[in-house]
Structure 1
Amino acid sequence: MQATAYTYDADSRTGSVLLDDGTPLPFDATAFEAGGLRLLRPGQRVRIDVTEEAGERRITLVTLQTF
């Protein structure tokens, strides 16, 4: 799934993305580190993997979207 980086805190390695419908979705340090990124700037297009458990969506991977 694709999204746009919305927020990112380099100290905690957490942040959020905006899905293409405008819905914000947070990610934790584990999801950020799984993508092998060092830095993320708001506005960058990213690819995310999402799981859904008990009706709640959770990002498991954040990486840059490449064409």
Structure 2
Amino acid sequence: MQATAYTYDPETRSGSVLLDDGTPVDFGAGAFDAGGLRLLRAGQRVRIETADDGGSGAPRITLVTLQTF
């Protein structure tokens, strides 16, 4: 799934993305580290992978990496 980087804190390696429908979704350091990135800037297009968050209805991001065409 694709999204747009919205926030990123380099100290905690966590942040949030905006899904294409405008929904913000947070990600943690584990998802950032899984993507092999070193830095992320707001506005960059990213590819994310998600997992069901146990019935809460909100996706849990498991991977964030740059979108390549």
Common fold by TM > 0.5: yes
**Residue equivalent to 2:66:** 64
Structure 1 gaps of 5+ residues are none
Structure holding more strand per residue: 1
Distance in 1, Cα, partners of 2:58 & 2:26 = 12
* CA distance in 1: counterparts of 2:42 and 2:16, whole angstroms: 9
Identity value in percent: 73
Q: Kindly state the Cα deviation for residue 58 of structure 1 after the two structures are TM-superposed.
A: 0.1
Which runs of structure 2 are paired with 1:1-67 in the superposition (5 Å)?
1-52=1-52, 53-54=54-55, 55-67=57-69
RMSD: 0.6
Map Cα deviations across residues 16-60 of structure 1 (whole Å, 9 max, x no partner).
Answer: 000000000000000000000000000000000011122331000
**Moved runs in structure 1, 4+ residues, more than 3 A?**
none
Aligned pairs, how many?
A: 67
Give, in whole Å, the separation in 2 of the partners of 1:30 and 1:22: 23
